[in-house]
Amino acid sequence: MSDLIHYRLEDGLALIGLARPPVNSLGQPLRAAILDACERAAADASVKAIILHGESGVFCAGADITEFGSSASHATPSLPEVLLRLTSIDKPLIAAIGTFALGGGLELALACGYRVGEPKARLGLPEINLGLLPGAGGTQRLPRLIGVEPALDLMISGQPLNAARALEVGLLDRLAGSPEALLDSARELARELIAQNAPARRSTPFANPGESIAADFFSQFLAANASRWKSRQAPRRVVAAVEASCRLPLTEGLAEERALFKQAEASAESRALRHVFFAEREAGRIPGIGSDTPLRKIDKVAVIGAGTMGGGIAMNFANAGIAVKLLEVKGEALDRGLAQIRKNYEISVKRGKLSDAQLEQRMALLQGTLDYADLADADLVIEAVFEKMEIKEAVFRRLDEVCKPGAILASNTSSLDVDVIASFTKRPQDVIGLHFFSPANVMRLLEVVRGRETAPDVLATTMKVAKQIGKLAVVSGVCFGFIGNRMLEPYSREAHRLVLEGATPAQVDNVLTGLDLNMGVLTMLDLAGVDVNFLVRQSNLAASSHDASYHIVGDELYKLGRYGQKTGRGFYVYEGRDRKDDPEVPEIAARVAAELGVARRDNISNEEIHDRCLFMLINEGIQLLDEGIALRASDIDLVWINGYGFPAHVGGPMHYAETVGLDKVLAGIQRYRKELGAYGEMWFQPASLLERLVAAGKTRIEKI
Ligand code: 3H9
C-alpha cells in the first residue's frame, strides 16, 4: 500500500489515514491510494465501517492546485471517479474532519455518508477564489444535502463555515469535543451504526433540491450580482452548476458540473487566480532569510502620529491583541486621533462585526502619550508623520535618543528614501520602511522596504509581525515610491498626458475599468487627493524637470484648488460620491496644451489609452525587477492587486503582460516611441530586461 495512506484495521473498522503533508492535497498518487484503500476495505468482509481521516490532524485542502492545467489534473483515477466509487460502497463511510475540509477535501467528505468534525474545523468550497467551481460533485451533492441557498452561498462566498455552523446546517453529523477526541468520536459513531446495522447512507437525501426555489431564483441571483462580478465567469459557472442540480438527476448533474469545471480550469481567469495563490505564498520567501534567521521579540509597539494613517496602523495591532502606544505632539491631536479610532470601532459594532466588549478591549490596548520618553521600552516603533524629510529627520533623531537598543525603528513613508531616514540614527541596521496603505486598518498590503543596512533579523521580524496583524507583506528595495508608487508614476503620467492630448478623463478611466480595475487612475487620484499627488511630485522634481508637460493637467487642477473628491472637484465633479464629467477639465487641458504647443486630437483610440497607460506601467515593473527593487515579478502583481485595485482575476500587471504577450508589449512601446515624437523619445524607453526577454523568446517575466 502507498505511503500516502496509513491503513489500519480495528475490530471491524478500517481507518484510512491520509498522509500527504502539509495539507493532503489530492494529487493523482493520493487519489489512487485512497481508491485502493477503500476498495480493500470494501472487499474485506471483516470491515463493517470505514473511517477516512487526516493522519496529522489536517483532513484535506482539496485538489492539488499545482496539477491544474497539466495532464495530471485529470489522470485516472480522477477525483470525481474516486468519489463516485466511494458513494457506491455498501458500508458506512465516515469522514473525520480535523482542521479543514476545503474544496475537493469537502467533496471527499460529502462522498462519505457521515461526517464528524473537531470544534475548530473549517469546511468550505473556496474553488471560486481560484477561478474554479467545485468539480467533484460539490455543486450537486451539497445543495441536495443542505439546500440550494446555503450551498450557493458557501460556493459564491468561498468562505468556509466553522464547525458549529456546519453542524447547524447539517453538513456535520456530529461534533467531537476536541481535536484529540475526533477519531474516538468517529469510532463511536461507527460502532453505533454497526450496532444498528445501519446502511451506507447516501450523501444526497434530496432528489430535487430545487423544489422550494422560486422559478426565477437563479436569473434574479445573476442579475443582482452582475455588476459585482464584472467579467468574472467562475461565479456564473457556479450558478449554472447549482441550477443544474435542481433540474437534472444526479448523474447528469455531475456530468454538467464536470464540463463546466473543465472550461473553468482552462480559463485565463483561473490561471490568473492560481498565479495569485502561489504568488502570495512565494512573497514570504526572501533570499538570505530562513528559519534559522533569529527573530526579535515584539511585545510593545508604538506609533508616532495619530492622524488617519497612524490611527489605522495602531488599530491593526490592537486588533491582533498587541498593546500600542500612540504618540502625538499636541493633546488635541491625540484626543482627536483616539476618538476617531473609537468611532471606527463603533462602526464595526453597528455592523455586527465587533461586540461592545471587544471594542473596549481594543481601546484598552491603545495608550496615548505626548512624551517620547514613553517609547523607551517599545520593541517596534512605526513613524506615521507628515511626508516631509525634515519632519522624518526630527522624529528619527529623537527616536535614536530615546529607544532602547535593538528596538526596530520603522517609517511609514510612501516614497522617501529609507536609507536617508536610517542615516539620521546611529543604528541604520534597525531601520526599515513599513509602507501601509490607506485605510491602514483595512488594506491588506504592506510594502516592507529593506534599506541598504537593514539587518536580516529586522526584516525577518517585521515579516512575521506583518503576518500576525493580517497583512500581506511584500519586500521592496529602496527607490522613489518603492514598487507601487514608482509604477504609479508612469501610469498616471500617461493618463495626464492623454487628457492633455485630447482624451477625456472618463475615456481614460473607462478603458481601465473595462479591464475590471476597481477604478481608473484619474478617479483614483481624485480619491487620494490631487493635492497629495502634486506634493509627492514636488519632492521628486528631478524626474520631470526636462518635460514641461509632465503631469501639467494635475498641476493646473491643483492650482485651481480642485483637489478631488474632498473638494467636490478634481478630474471630475462630485455630488457626494457621485462622479460626473466636468466640461471645464477638457477646457483646462486645451488651454495648457495650446500654451505648450501640444497638438490635441479628438480621435485618441481606446487601444492607444490601453497601451500607453498599461504598457508603461508594465515596463516600469520590469525595470524594477531588473534593478532588484522587486524580488520577483509575482511580488509586483501582489502590490498592484492589493494596493491599487488591479483585479486579481487578471493576475496583476506582470501576469497580464504575459497574457498579452511580452513581444506585443515591447512592440507597443516601440510604436509610441516613434509616433509620439519628442515626447515618445523621452519617455517610451523599453526596459532593457523586456528587450532581453523578448530577444530570448521568453514568455514569462523573470530576471535573466
Ligand atoms: C479543488 O479542490 C477543485 C475540486 O473541487 C475539483 C477537482 C476535480 N494544492 O497556505 P499555506 C500548499 S481546488 C496544492 O501556506 P496555511 C501551499 O502552496 C482547491 N498545494 O498554509 C503551501 O505550500 P508551500 C480548493 C496546496 O496553513 C502549503 O500547502 N482548495 C494546496 O496558511 C501550506 O499552505 C483550496 O482552494 C492545494 N490545494 O493555509 C484551498 N493548499 O509551503 C487552498 C495548500 O510550498 N489552500 N497548499 O508554500 C488554502 O486555502 C490554504 O493553503 C490552507 C492552509 C487554508 C489550506
Same domain? For 570 and 617 the reply is: yes
- Mean pLDDT for 346-355 is 95
**CB–CB of 152/239 below 8 Å?**
yes
**CB–CB of 362/319 below 8 Å?**
yes
Q: What is the predicted pLDDT for the residue at 62?
A: 98
- Mean pLDDT for 263-279 is 98
Q: From the CA of 159, how far away is ligand 1's center (Å)?
A: 14
The larger pLDDT score, comparing residue 207 to residue 635, is at 635
The DSSP H or E segment spanning 369 is strand 366-369
Residue 528's nearest CA partner among 683, 649, 391, 645 is: 645
- Mean pLDDT for 343-347 is 96
**SS3 sequence, 613-671?**
HHHHHHHHHHHHHHHCCECCHHHHHHHHHHHCCCCHHHCHHHHHHHHHCHHHHHHHHHH
Q: What is the predicted pLDDT for the residue at 211?
A: 82
Q: What is the predicted pLDDT for the residue at 576?
A: 80
How many domains is the chain built from? 3
Residue 288 lies in a domain: no
Same domain? For 317 and 259 the reply is: no
Same domain? For 248 and 322 the reply is: no
pLDDT reading at 544 higher than 80:
no
pLDDT reading at 231 higher than 80:
yes
**CB–CB of 619/690 below 8 Å?**
yes
Q: What is the predicted pLDDT for the residue at 200?
A: 78
Same domain? For 517 and 443 the reply is: no
SS3 59: coil
Residue 94 lies in a domain: yes
Same domain? For 492 and 457 the reply is: no
Instruction: Pick the residue whose CA is nearest to atom 40 on ligand 1.
Output: 61
Q: From the CA of 62, how far away is ligand 1's center (Å)?
A: 7
Query: d(Cα 573, Cα 553) in Å, to the nearest integer?
Result: 15
Q: From the CA of 477, how far away is ligand 1's center (Å)?
A: 29
Q: Do β-strands 5-10 and 431-436 pair in parallel, antiparallel, or remain unpaired? A: unpaired
Q: Which residue has the cell 524637470?
A: 545
Substitution site in 4, 23, 30 for ligand 1 pocket (most atoms within 8 Å of beta carbon): 23
Give pLDDT tens digits for 72-96: 998 999 999 999 999 999 999 999 9
Q: Is the complex ipTM higher than 0.85? A: yes
Give pLDDT tens digits for 26-44: 999 999 999 999 999 999 9
Query: d(Cα 128, Cα 136) in Å, to the nearest integer?
Result: 14
Q: What is the predicted pLDDT for the residue at 2?
A: 78
Residue 38 lies in a domain: yes
Identify the burial level of 110 via C-beta atoms within 10 angstroms of its C-beta, where 0-12 means exposed, 13-18 middle and 19 or more buried: buried
Q: What is the predicted pLDDT for the residue at 542?
A: 67
Task: Measure the CA dihedral 465/469/472/475, to 10°.
Answer: -30
Q: Do β-strands 93-97 and 49-54 pair in parallel, antiparallel, or remain unpaired? A: parallel
**CB–CB of 472/445 below 8 Å?**
yes
Give pLDDT tens digits for 450-479: 999 999 999 999 999 999 999 999 999 999
The DSSP H or E segment spanning 580 is strand 578-580
- Residues involved in catalysis: 107, 127
Q: Which residue has the cell 504568488?
A: 279
**Domain finish residue from 442, 476, 510:** 476
Q: What is the predicted pLDDT for the residue at 165?
A: 97
Q: How far is CA 670 from CA 618, 660, 681, in A?
A: 14, 16, 10
Q: Is the four-CA dihedral 75, 76, 77, 78 of positive or negative sign?
A: positive
The model's confidence at residue 493, banded by pLDDT at 50, 70 and 90, is very high
Q: From the CA of 282, how far away is ligand 1's center (Å)?
A: 13
Quote the DSSP letter at residue 53. E
The DSSP H or E segment spanning 350 is helix 331-350
Same domain? For 508 and 463 the reply is: no
Cell of 211: 423544489
The DSSP H or E segment spanning 115 is strand 114-117
Query: d(Cα 522, Cα 284) in Å, to the nearest integer?
Result: 32
Q: From the CA of 181, how far away is ligand 1's center (Å)?
A: 25
Average per-residue pLDDT for the chain: 95
**Domain finish residue from 265, 291, 324:** 265
Instruction: Pick the residue whose CA is nearest to atom 5 on ligand 1.
Output: 134
**CB–CB of 635/483 below 8 Å?**
yes
Query: d(Cα 137, Cα 108) in Å, to the nearest integer?
Result: 9
**CB–CB of 461/484 below 8 Å?**
no
Same domain? For 592 and 638 the reply is: yes
Task: Measure the CA dihedral 610/611/617/620, to 10°.
Answer: 180
Q: Which residue has the cell 437525501?
A: 205
SS3 381: strand
Query: Which CATH number do you get for residue 73?
Result: 3.90.226.10
The larger pLDDT score, comparing residue 207 to residue 649, is at 649
Q: What is the predicted pLDDT for the residue at 208?
A: 78
pLDDT reading at 543 higher than 70:
no
**Domain finish residue from 447, 476, 505:** 476
Q: What is the predicted pLDDT for the residue at 202?
A: 66
Task: Measure the CA dihedral 657/610/263/518, to 10°.
Answer: 100
Q: What is the predicted pLDDT for the residue at 204?
A: 65
Query: d(Cα 228, Cα 234) in Å, to the nearest integer?
Result: 13
Residue 426 lies in a domain: yes
SS3 196: coil
Q: What is the predicted pLDDT for the residue at 209?
A: 83
Residue 624 lies in a domain: yes
Same domain? For 11 and 132 the reply is: yes
The DSSP H or E segment spanning 49 is strand 49-54
Report the atom number in ligand 1 closest to the C-alpha of 78: 8
How many residues appear in the chain? 704
Q: What is the percent of the chain where pLDDT is above 70?
A: 98
Substitution site in 26, 60, 65, 161 for ligand 1 pocket (most atoms within 8 Å of beta carbon): 65
Residue 501 lies in a domain: yes
- Mean pLDDT for 642-664 is 97
- Mean pLDDT for 350-364 is 96
Dump the DSSP string for 226-291.
Answer: HHHHTT--HHHHHHHHHHHHHHS-HHHHHHHHHHHHHHHHTSHHHHHHHHHHHHHHHTT--TT--T
Contacts of 577 (CB under 8 A, 6+ apart): 565
Instruction: Pick the residue whose CA is nearest to atom 22 on ligand 1.
Output: 281
Same domain? For 447 and 377 the reply is: yes
Same domain? For 119 and 233 the reply is: yes
Domain extent at residue 371: 300-476
Query: Which CATH number do you get for residue 636?
Result: 1.10.1040.50
Same domain? For 471 and 496 the reply is: no
Residues within 6 Å of ligand 1 by CB:
22-23, 25, 61-66, 79, 100, 102-104, 107, 126-127, 130, 132, 134-136, 138, 281
Report the atom number in ligand 1 closest to the C-alpha of 282: 48
Contacts of 578 (CB under 8 A, 6+ apart): none
Residue 336 lies in a domain: yes
Q: From the CA of 320, how far away is ligand 1's center (Å)?
A: 24
Beta strands in 370-458 (DSSP E): 380-383, 408-411, 431-436, 445-449
Residue 371 lies in a domain: yes
Same domain? For 316 and 190 the reply is: no
Dump the DSSP string for 2-29.
Answer: -TTEEEEEETTEEEEEE--TTT----HH
Phi/psi at 306 (5° precision): -105, 25
pLDDT reading at 201 higher than 90:
no
